[in-house]
Amino acid sequence: MFDELKLRPRRSLTAALLAGFCLAGAIAHADPQPHPVLAVDPLPAGAETENHSAVISRWFSRGYAGAVLLHIDARSRTRPLGVEQAAAIAKFRTMRAAGPTAPAVPDATAGRPLFETSFVRAVVILGIAREAYWVIPFDRSLGPEAEQSLRADLKQSGIVEEELRTFALRDGCFRGTVEGAPFAVCSLEELPRIAAPVLLSLDTDFVMAAAAGVSNPIAEMRKLLAALAARRYAVLDSVVCTSVEPEQVSLVSPDLRWVGETIALALREPSLLTRAEQPKRWALLQTLALLESVGDYQEMLHQALPYLTVREEDPALHLYAANALAGRGKTEGALEHAEEACRLQRGYCYGLPWIGLRLFAAGDIEGGERYFAAGAKLRPGMLFGQLPRGLLLQQAGRPEAALRAYLALSESGDVLPAAFLAGALQLRMGDRQAARRQFDRALEALPSAAAAEVIDPDTAHAIREAARLYREEGLTRQAESLENNPRLYISQEEDPPVTP
């Protein structure tokens, strides 16, 4: 449950495949006009983002303070801050101290997704929110029988022991404190009553978890918005996080980013989800998602290509066409459609490395590299898919190329598990000093990292290599911190079990 959702595996190698609308209350510059009611009134145009760091920058730059956060997500995002996150928080505070001279939209994270696992903590620490509610994607009451599992899940998601002792079941939610602020875990079945306007963080992961993959996200959207409308929450601001990047902590693959876009549209126009007949495009996209999940590429083409003749500028359809053509072995046509999707909308550029990974998995390394090269050309600096790419290159006997992929992630700040993997390869290549630097980076990043860094035997082996190096250098504490860390799921076996 919660941060370690055990969902049906996606067909892509990116493993765990960002949409949210975020809205506030009790703020520093309150609007005298009545706030719109969530899922009842049309919301003014909000922002759509890839990650939660962008949400924090938006709210911070708008001066929100002392608000109520309504966080609707498959994950709590309450992991303690690490060194880089703390540095970004300090930079935000420096900007605030600068007053009118601070930039309108601060870039304390340099555009990187620093707060994906610690978003709620950061919002509270910065004073943006005075209290937070987390709505989980499970349709059930949180009764006394659930308390033990709730405590275990909160501990796994980063709630520290001192905070955990404050939690108890009250008024239909599991309530306690995080960073000294009230924090409640609530189900959709028993949404909390909140009098103040809210900052709403609604992540696409929530809908995909509730829909158990791609079975019926539109139905889950309807259900969610109906429940929200019944509570009549007042809305202050809105941001949609489409939840594709970073892929290591997302349930949303590039072909499903339309789900987040649809939620955003439905919040702007609530009547769309209450109509008896949904827009034809939504029905088509959901059909294509289902066909893709079972590998029926011929029917995907039959459905998508005729529609593209009248909707030539629909990036979602281009990406489904590209994936279907790639599945049929027509990689040239697939590349053209994937590039067109990227040109039409920047967020769909992730489709290029996503299809490239499929070719990698089928043994077509050169074909896969063409997609990665096209993605790098159209969206320079894109790191999506680099971790599984590195793993597949390493398994294909291309350690130098794999090392470049790992280092690109590690040096960009996406440290885990890339730094472990890079260090192990550098150690194998005889560069002990470089390996030690990477292992040190990984060890420093661990406290604020997500729970399941070990996603394959190569990563587990790399962590054992780091522990061995530390022991050889007399650094017993560092070695034991890796060997005895339950969140790493590492064993001393030569072939440890792969984390689900």
DSSP state of 234: B
Cα maximum dimension of the chain: 69
Distance CA 457, CA 420 (A): 12
Distance CA 447, CA 93 (A): 22
Q: What is the pLDDT along the chain (500 residues), one digit of tens a residue?
A: 444 333 333 333 233 322 332 323 333 344 445 899 999 999 876 667 888 888 998 899 889 999 999 999 998 999 888 777 888 899 888 887 766 554 544 555 666 678 888 999 999 999 999 999 999 987 556 777 788 888 988 988 889 999 999 999 999 999 999 999 999 999 998 999 999 999 999 999 899 888 876 678 888 999 999 999 999 999 998 887 887 876 555 678 899 999 999 999 999 999 887 787 778 899 999 999 999 989 999 999 999 999 999 999 999 999 999 999 999 999 889 999 999 999 999 999 999 999 999 999 899 999 999 999 999 999 998 999 999 999 999 999 999 999 999 999 998 878 888 999 999 999 999 999 999 999 999 998 887 665 445 557 888 889 999 999 999 999 999 999 888 876 665 544 444 333 32
Q: Which residues contact 146 (CB under 8 A, 6 or more apart)?
A: 140, 169, 174
357 pairs with which residues across the strands?
Answer: none
Cα angle, residue 349 at apex, residues 348 and 355 outer, rounded to 5°: 95
Domains of the chain in sequence order: 2-274 (no CATH), 279-384 (1.25.40.10), 397-500 (1.25.40)
Q: How far is CA 35 from CA 17, 29, 157, in A?
A: 34, 13, 33
Question: Model's pTM, two decimal places?
Answer: 0.84
